[in-house]
Homo-oligomer: A and B are copies of this chain.
Amino acid sequence: MVWCSGWRLASAVSNAGGLGLIGSGSMHPETLREHIQKCQAATSNSFGVNVPLLYPEIEKIMSTIVEENVKIVFTSAGNPMTWTGFLKDKGITVVHVVSNTKFARKSIEAGVDAIVAEGFEAGGHNGREETTTLCLLPLVRDMMNIPLLAAGGIGSGRAMLAAEALGADGVQIGTRFAASIESSAHENFKNKLINLGEGETILTMKQLTPVRLIKNKFYQQIAEAEREGSPADELKKIIGKGRARKGIFEGDLDEGELEIGQAASYIKSIKPAAEILLEIWNEYEVAKKTLIGRTT
């Protein structure tokens, strides 16, 4: 949720009864500090910070989190052994995001409090195995007993119910909130994503770190380079720096990296986060009643 989930979205979700997360992946440490403080001022409910562990300023990010008294940290895109102990020692609840059972096992060994199992359909950074949420959840569920959250393709109440059926205790929702009023994404990006059809996102950059994004002009450049057999170094040059900022935050739909999940094809409106949460909850309740009432 880089460039989408700042203090506005995180506090709105927490105020509406969810657990809001500040996405630190797009923030320098001092920006993150500001977002944490503003979030604390905007909600008295719990919220957390998501930290991609491959982040270059990771040490400063972690010390900022501790200094600002954050209680919950979601780590992703890296080895859970590196930071879990540090955070747990400070009394922080640690949740790690995984895309396979190998890293789920590592997370448990590292002592995390919960695991997010994120499937192939998720936006942004993703796993190399391409295992979908439907196939991944039961595998992770069967290997451990700590709380399991589902991510990837969960943009609706029905998907939340399906995740529960597969053994999840809860869900992590990104894409749906990227199209919220409180999302800090550019209007161009929000409007683009509520008009996306099936097959308009793709998991790409598999030679580097796989990322799901919208098939725009920037993607076509990467795809062409890949078709021509360009090595990783050349791809890195084409990608350059600041592409996600350019696309998601500045709204350059051609030259920016437009990270979003497959669930976007289900989203047709930009709404306040609280309304989105209520809508998901209501759909979940209806779907559950329907399921219980079935006489299969």
When A158-B165, A164-B291, A164-B294 are in contact, do A121 and B132 touch as well, CB less than 8 Å?
yes
Task: Check if A138 sits within 8 Å of B121, measured CB to CB.
Answer: no
The minimal Cβ–Cβ distance linking A126 to chain B, given in whole angstroms, is: 12
Instruction: Choose among B130, B132, B156, B263 the residue that contacts A133 (Cβ–Cβ < 8 A).
Output: B132
**Stretch from A5-13, A195-203, A272-280 at the B interface:** A195-203
A269 within 8 Å of B (CB atoms): no
Residues on the B chain within 8 Å of A199, using CB: 100, 127-131
Q: Roughly how many angstroms separate A129 CA and B291 CA in the complex, as a whole number? A: 29
Task: Check if A121 sits within 8 Å of B135, measured CB to CB.
Answer: yes
Q: Roughly how many angstroms separate A136 CA and B156 CA in the complex, as a whole number? A: 12
Bits for A138-175, please: 1 = Cβ < 8 Å to B, else 0. 11000000000000111010110111111100000000
Instruction: Choose among B136, B162, B265, B288 the residue that contacts A166 (Cβ–Cβ < 8 A).
Output: B162
Task: Check if B158 sits within 8 Å of A266, measured CB to CB.
Answer: no
Bits for A40-68, please: 1 = Cβ < 8 Å to B, else 0. 00000000000000000000000000000
A101 within 8 Å of B (CB atoms): yes
Residues on the B chain within 8 Å of A161, using CB: 165-166, 291
Q: Roughly how many angstroms separate A127 CA and B102 CA in the complex, as a whole number? A: 28
Residues on the B chain within 8 Å of A294, using CB: 164
Q: Roughly how many angstroms separate A162 CA and B119 CA in the complex, as a whole number? A: 15
The minimal Cβ–Cβ distance linking A271 to chain B, given in whole angstroms, is: 18
Which chain B residue lies CB-closest to A127?
B199
When A101-B198, A228-B229 are in contact, do A203 and B130 touch as well, CB less than 8 Å?
yes
A227 within 8 Å of B (CB atoms): yes
Task: Check if B130 sits within 8 Å of A202, measured CB to CB.
Answer: yes
Which chain B residue lies CB-closest to A294?
B164
Bits for A171-201, please: 1 = Cβ < 8 Å to B, else 0. 0000000000000000000000000001100
Residues on the B chain within 8 Å of A121, using CB: 131-132, 134-135
Residues on the B chain within 8 Å of A265, using CB: 131, 135, 139
Give A residues with C-beta under 8 Å from B.
100-102, 119-121, 127-136, 138-139, 152-154, 156, 158-159, 161-167, 198-199, 202-203, 227-229, 262-263, 265-266, 287-288, 291-292, 294, 296
6 nearest A-B residue pairs (beta carbon) = A129-B199, A162-B162, A161-B165, A134-B153, A162-B165, A132-B132
Known: A132-B153, A135-B198, A288-B291. 15 other contacts (CB 8 A): A121-B134, A130-B202, A131-B262, A131-B265, A132-B132, A134-B153, A134-B159, A135-B153, A135-B265, A135-B266, A158-B165, A161-B166, A162-B165, A164-B294, A165-B287
